[in-house]
Amino acid sequence: MRFLLNDTSNVHVLIVEPAASVRMLITDILRSLGYRNLHSAGSGKDAVKLLEVEEIHWVILPLMATESVNALQILGLILNEPSLNHTATTLLLEPNSEDYCLPLAFEMGLLSWAPKSYIKESLASEFQDLMKCFALNHGNVTLTAADYLRRFLSEKRMHLSRQSLEQNLLSCFPGSAKLLLNMAEAEVLAGNEARAIDLLSQAEIIDERLGPTCKQLRDKYLKNVSNINLSSRENTLGIKTVVVIDPDTDVLFAATEMLQQIGVNSVETFENGLLAFNWIKQCGTEPDLIIMEWRLPGLSGPLLIQRIRQEGFLQVPIIIASSLVKRDEKPLLMEMGVDEVLEKPFDRTTFFSVIIWAIQQNRVPTEQKSLERKFRRLIHAGQNAEAERILAQLFADPRVNEGSKKGLQAEYLFSQADFNSACDLAVQALKLGGDSLSLLNIVGKCLLKLNQFEKALQCFEKANSLCSINIERLLTIAEINIKLDRTEAAERACDAALHLDAANGPALQAKCGIDIESGDLEKAKLGIGMLDSVPRIASYINNRAIALARAGRYEESITLYKRAILCLEPKWPELGTTVAYNLGLAYARYGDYDSALHILKDLAYEPKLGIQRKALALFKKLERTVKSGIRLFQEEPEDHMGNVDEVSETSVKVESDPVKLCLDSLMVKIAAKRGDIGCYLIFNSLDEIADRSKDLIKSTPRFTHRKAIATVKSETLKTGT
Amino acid sequence: MKALVVEDQQLFREAVADELTFYGFNASTAEDGEEGLMAASVADYDVILSDMRMPKRDGRWFLGELRKTQKCAPPFIFMTGFTDLTPQDAFEMGADGFLGKPVDSDRLRAVVSKVCKPIETRWEQKPDSPAKQIFVRNFDSIESEFTKTRISLGRGGMFLAADETPLRTGDLVEFKIHFKEGPFRSLEGIGTIVWKRDSCLEPYLSGYGIDFEFLTEESLPEWLNHLRSKEIVPFVPKS
């Protein structure tokens, strides 16, 4: 997918320009630079037609603001059309009258721009500069685009936007010393000198060769800042306690040495996972950083991490230093809150760049993360006003990216039971490059509430493919499969959960439910005997029975209830009677009023039972029904299990399907990640984007991908070979 | 087949020795560089695996001393969690490979089985996965001064200059290198990038260190002649 701009013999270039003479001029320049595959179009409309049939790698075009198809529309097309995603664009603009469109253009993935010129030499040197910039950035389109964008933002003094650009770039290229320098400059310009000083020192630690450049920057911007002891590297990263856990004493020594060099005085080292955990637990306060091997004696990495987080140490960044993390385990690590994986063997430079990145990521967003956590706690506790206040605070923070904002808003709306809007927002957040795992979870939960089980399942399964060890999610997948009458798939998910944690209560309950259904009552009874609480079994049975009944398999649903009563009654009589009531209800629904009355009679006149009143009411209703001879159930079945309502059929009535969510196309959209297309998903202008430029993208030109058609439209002129 | 495991920590020493025994090696052990060198000078090993940081004499010293007398063999693999040497320096000094520690048994097996193959068959098998980039280069002669700054051959790989270095360590690359004259006419095959160097502030040209995985039938005889013509210490030269 990578394209190399300077691979002149293979790159196909499209030159768009209304004026024929200028078009020829640009064509000549590019040819003299060695490009062989040149195409040209006289208007935006023709350009779109050409893009439909030809594989183009690079488009050079003017703004064409007054034309029917303008440059920004073409940018939008390239961005949204998967087949065009990897086409680079260069804008040729009138420097003062047209550059208003640049912030938006860069947001949409523009590679570079150059001032319009009709002089061969100056245009040629612009293209040569682009080649140089591209080569200096080792062929990376994002860094190249960022160079152009940075220059523009600095000239226009858009310091806030610049700051956010640098921050996002750093998160894409963790530990890049050069980007740290750019970030430092951005911070100075935004008036944040203290942070700039830290960043400069960090860049120097990562790459000692940057010393002279750092000095230049200090001389340029920080001369007047007093109270800086530049020679001291004390606490450059602002971290005090670091825990290093590795069975290899060499790593422990090396890490201690290096950490002391940057002023960390308290480094605790452990060769054993369990000892480390006990120390951390006893210590009570969170360490500032944990660096650990993945395969550890005593307590292995995956379990150690979970225990650390369970203990409430949620803030501490964790770095895994190991070459034993399998590729497919990495997303799972991220979900468990691991910041970085450091491949072994690592050297000094990588060690520092990874640490510095992890600390930084954790620091600025620490506030964000802790705010997010607080927000979630408040939602959970139903303190909506306070939750809204925190949300507003997060929204006002320019460092929180748009994706996260929309995601949080989606969570809030979910808590307000506005599932349609929540779902919409979560999907938007996914498109903005938000954290796909948690967003997929929200979308899935919303769809569940909206009774879109198939789609919900797709979401959870997609999330599961990103991280397959989340037990709660596996059980949700099992539950949905039960609703969809796919017992085998449910059992598979349930087994997967038990495989991860054989003693997991909820998973065991789900398993018992499946055993009951398959008729293995002895096994089920044994399982139930070992459990401390069984609400999930009852909910499983009820969901399953409803699913069966809905499929017209009443007999099977009745058998299921009977078996459940047999299994539950000995240890959980209360639940047994609830299921018995449901059995009565099922009989009634089936039209077997005699059996229903028979069962309900026992329940209705047993005053000790919680369900007695309900049973009595139903019993009387049934008696009347039998006398009058009118069928009792025409409407949807009632739901009697309190804890089932999360996945219940009747909790939300959906008249239409306003969530026009096509998961496949969504997945294509989120497939373009940060760093794939220029500064797309990296740059979001914080300064006002000119309305004029927004007007330019009000409509989208029609585009039909037709790569098989080799003929080029007669009105477009093809030059070169 | 005989293997020597040099490692000061008992846990790792025994784990690796056991693993090698399991693969059919006759594995001996030593606890530091000095002991390792002693062992290597009295017996012929097919492969040596060594830690880097050890008491008394470390792995770097061990490799340096070993390659003074045993220039091309036996293959020497570093196993370490933290490396004091850059990969560039280690390969230049004559190391044949790197393994992280704790050692991944699959990687151990793959690395050891590759370096233990006789050179005649070592580069016969084409890798399954496709290369990320193809380097096509035409030079005058391998012996000309200009060419020497751009390509340099070692015992198991080469340094190849490149203006841009977007690829990563571990990526597979294909190469088609031709020389107008000299002992070498063509070198075509596939290799793994073991290190890369960015141009800025370095005395050397930017480019990649490439460990050969596969060489075409046409290139193989010339390459084997090259290996037999002189004793070469660097596995992948620095420049």
Asked if the C-beta of A345 comes within 8 angstroms of chain B's C-beta atoms, the answer is: yes
* pLDDT confidence bin for B78, thresholds 50/70/90: very high
- 3-state DSSP call for residue A718? strand
Q: How many CB pairs under 8 A join A and B?
A: 81
- What does pLDDT average to over chain A? 79
Q: Which residues of B touch A247 (CB under 8 A)?
A: 9, 11-12, 102
Verify whether the Cβ–Cβ distance B82 to A255 is below 8 Å: yes
Q: Would you say residue A49 has pLDDT above 80?
A: yes
Encode A76-112 in three state secondary structure: HHHHHCHHHCCCEEEEEECCCCCHHHHHHHHHCCCCE
Q: pLDDT, tens digit, for every residue of A545-588?
A: 887 887 778 888 888 888 888 888 777 777 778 888 888 888 88
In this complex, is the C-beta atom of A336 within 8 Å of any C-beta atom belonging to chain B?
Answer: no
CB proximity list for B11: less than 8 A, separation 6 or greater: A247
A327–chain B Cβ distance below 8 A for any pair: no
Q: Which two tokens stand for residue A543?
A: 């969901």
Question: Tokens 């850059």, residue?
Answer: B86
Sign of the CA dihedral with A216 first, then A222, A223, and A228 last: negative
Q: For A389-406, what is the mean pLDDT?
A: 78
Check CB contact of A186 with chain B, cutoff 8 Å: no
| Of the ranges A77-91, A138-152, A365-379, the best mean pLDDT one | A138-152
The alpha-carbon gap from B229 to the nearest alpha carbon of chain A, in Å, equals 34
Least confident of A407-416, B159-168, B221-230: B159-168
The predicted pLDDT at position A305 comes to 84
Write down the pLDDT at residue A254.
93
Residues in chain B within 8 Å Cβ distance of A345? 52, 78, 80-83, 98-101
Q: Is A678 helix (H, G, I), strand (E, B) or coil?
A: coil
Q: Which CATH superfamily is domain A241-368 in?
A: Response regulator (3.40.50.2300)
Identify the pLDDT of residue A711: 44
Instruction: Compare B188 and A303 and report the one with higher pLDDT.
Output: B188
Distance from CA of A72 to the nearest CA of B (A): 29
- Contact assessment for residue B120 and residue B215, using Cβ atoms and an 8 Å cutoff: no
> Mind telling me how many Å the CA of B33 is from chain A's nearest CA?
15
**In the structure, what pLDDT confidence band is assigned to residue A334 with cuts at 50, 70 and 90?**
low
Q: Which of A514-528, A601-615, B138-152 has the lowest mean pLDDT?
A: A601-615
CB-closest option in A140, A247, A346 to B82: A346
The residues near A284 (Cβ < 8 Å, ≥ 6 apart) are: none
pLDDT above 60 (res A673): no
- The pLDDT of residue A475: 85
Predicted pLDDT of residue A616: 82
Q: Are A269 and A256 spatial neighbours (Cβ–Cβ below 8 Å)?
A: yes
pLDDT score for A145: 94
Nearest chain B residue to A351, by CA: B82
| Structure confidence at residue A721 as a pLDDT band (50, 70, 90) | very low
**Does position B146 have pLDDT exceeding 90, yes or no?**
no
A300 close to B (CB below 8 A):
no
| Residues carrying CATH 2.40.10.220, chain B | 133-229
Mean pLDDT of A630-641: 52
Q: Report the residue from A140, A247, A255 with minimal CB separation from B102.
A: A247
Interface test with A, best of B6, B82, B168 (most A CBs within 10 A): B82
Instruction: Among A306-320, A470-484, B48-62, name the most confident range.
Output: B48-62
Picking from B138, B163, B143, the residue whose alpha carbon sits closest to that of residue B153 is: B143
Q: State the pairing for strand pair B186-197/B207-215.
A: antiparallel
Contact criterion met (CB < 8 Å) for A247 and B98: no
The number of angstroms, rounded, from the C-alpha of A667 to the middle of its chain's C-alpha atoms is 12
**Least confident segment among A113-122, B35-44, B76-85, B142-151:** B142-151
ipTM: 0.85
Closest CA to A513 of A535, A497, A532, A498: A535
Relative to beta strand A112-115, strand A88-93 is parallel
Strand intervals (E) in A271-374: 289-292, 318-321, 340-342
Is A18 in the B-facing interface, judged by CB distances under 8 Å? no
Q: Which of B80, B163, B166 sits opposite A250 (nearest CB)?
A: B80
pLDDT for the residue numbered A6: 74
- Per-residue pLDDT at A641 exceeds 60: no
Of the residues A178, A206, A250, the best mutation for testing chain B's interface (the one with the most B CB atoms within 10 Å of its CB) is A250
Q: Once rounded to an integer, what is the mean pLDDT over residues A601-614?
A: 75
The average pLDDT across A183-202 equals 85
Residue A346 and residue B98: Cβ atoms within 8 Å? no
- CB B102 to CB A321 under 8 A? no
Q: Is B102 on the interface with A (CB under 8 A)?
A: yes
In this prediction, residues A129-147 reach a mean pLDDT of: 87
Average pLDDT on A437-463 reads: 85
Q: Which fold has domain B133-229?
A: Thrombin, subunit H (2.40.10)
- Beta carbons within 8 Å of B125's beta carbon, 6+ residues apart: B213, B214
Q: What are the tokens at A52?
A: 């439909």
CB atoms A345 and B102 under 8 Å:
no
Between residues B146 and A29, the one the model is more confident about: A29
Q: What's the count of helices (H) and strands (E) in chain B, helices before strands?
A: 8, 11
Query: Does the pLDDT of residue A374 top 80, yes or no?
Result: no
Pairwise pLDDT comparison (A167 vs A112), residue with the higher score = A112
Q: Say yes or no: A247 contacts chain B, CB-CB below 8 A.
A: yes
* One-letter-per-residue 3-state SS of A470-526: CHHHHHHHHHHHHHCCCHHHHHHHHHHHHHHCCCCHHHHHHHHHHHHHHCCHHHHHH
pLDDT of amino acid B30? 95
Is-cis flag, bond preceding A345, omega within 30? yes
Q: Is the pLDDT of residue A541 over 70?
A: yes
A371 compared with A106, residue with greater pLDDT: A106
pLDDT of residue A3: 58
Spatial separation of the C-alpha atoms in residues A161 and A111, rounded to whole Å = 17
pLDDT recorded at residue A31: 93
Task: Locate the chain A residue with the closest alpha carbon to B135.
Answer: A7
Reading the block at residue B32, the tokens are 């530091």
Chain A touched by B106 (CB under 8 Å): no
Residues of B in contact with A140 (CB under 8 A): 166
- Cβ neighbours of A347 in B, within 8 Å: 82-87
Is some CB atom of chain A closer than 8 A to the CB atom of B78?
A: yes
CB-based contact A210:A204 (threshold 8 Å): yes
Work out the pLDDT band at A335, boundaries 50, 70, 90: low
Predicted confidence at residue A324, as pLDDT, reads 87
Q: How confident is the model at residue B132 (pLDDT cuts 50, 70, 90)?
A: confident
Q: What is the pLDDT of residue A656?
A: 35
CA dihedral A540, A542, A547, A553 (to 10 degrees): 120
Average pLDDT over residues B29-44: 93
B-chain residues within 8 Å CB-CB of A343?
100
Dihedral Cα A560, A563, A564, A570, nearest 10 deg: 170
Asked whether the beta carbons of residue B81 and residue A347 sit closer than 8 angstroms, the reply is no
Instruction: State which fold the A1-154+687-721 domain adopts.
Output: Rossmann fold (3.40.50)
Question: Which carries the bigger pLDDT value, residue A108 or residue A540?
Answer: A108
Angle at A644 between CA A642 and CA A646, to 5 degrees: 110
- Looking from the CA of B7 toward its CB, the CA atoms found within 13 Å total 30
Mean pLDDT, rounded, for A388-404: 77
Does B52 touch chain A if contact means CB atoms closer than 8 Å?
A: yes
pLDDT in the model for residue A212: 85
How close B214 comes to chain A (CA, Å)? 24
- Determine the pLDDT at residue A708: 46
**Which amino acid, residue B24?**
G
Distances (CA, A) of A218 to A159, A185, A221: 18, 9, 5
Cβ within 8 Å, pair A251-B163: no
CB contact under 8 A, A250 and B52: yes
**Separation CA B179–CA A151 (nearest Å):** 43
Residue of B nearest to A325 (CA): B104
> Which residues on chain B are in Cβ contact (under 8 Å) with A346?
81-83
B81 contact A CB<8A: yes
Q: Are residues A2 and B78, on separate chains, in Cβ contact within 8 Å?
A: no
Interatomic CA distance for residues B131 and B192, integer angstroms: 9
Q: Does the CB of A272 have a partner CB in chain B at under 8 Å?
A: no
pLDDT number for residue A433: 64
Look at residue A174 in the predicted model and tell me its pLDDT. 65
What is the 3-class SS of A581-646, one letter each residue?
A: HHHHHHHHHHCCHHHHHHHHHHHHCCCCCCCHHHHHHHHHHHHHHHHHCCCCCCCCCCCCCHHHHH
Interchain CB contact of B167 with A (< 8 Å)? no
Ranges in chain B annotated CATH 3.40.50.2300 = 2-116
Per-residue pLDDT for A712 more than 80? no
In degrees rounded to 5, what are phi and psi of residue A391? Answer: -60, -45
Of A37 and B184, more confident? A37
CA distance A270 to A475: 36
Q: Evaluate if residue A245 carries a pLDDT over 80.
A: yes
Pairing of strands A58-62, B207-215: unpaired
Between chains, do A343 and B100 touch, taking CB under 8 Å as contact?
A: yes
Rounded to an integer, the average pLDDT of B211-216 is: 95
Q: How confident is the model at residue A612 (pLDDT cuts 50, 70, 90)?
A: confident
Beta strands A266-270; A241-245: pairing state? parallel
* Domain topology for A503-651: 1.25.40
Q: Give, as one character, the DSSP assignment of residue A713.
A: P
What whole-number distance in Å separates Cα of residue A447 and Cα of residue A423?
7
Q: What is the CATH number of domain B2-116?
A: 3.40.50.2300
Residue A690 has pLDDT above 90, yes or no: no
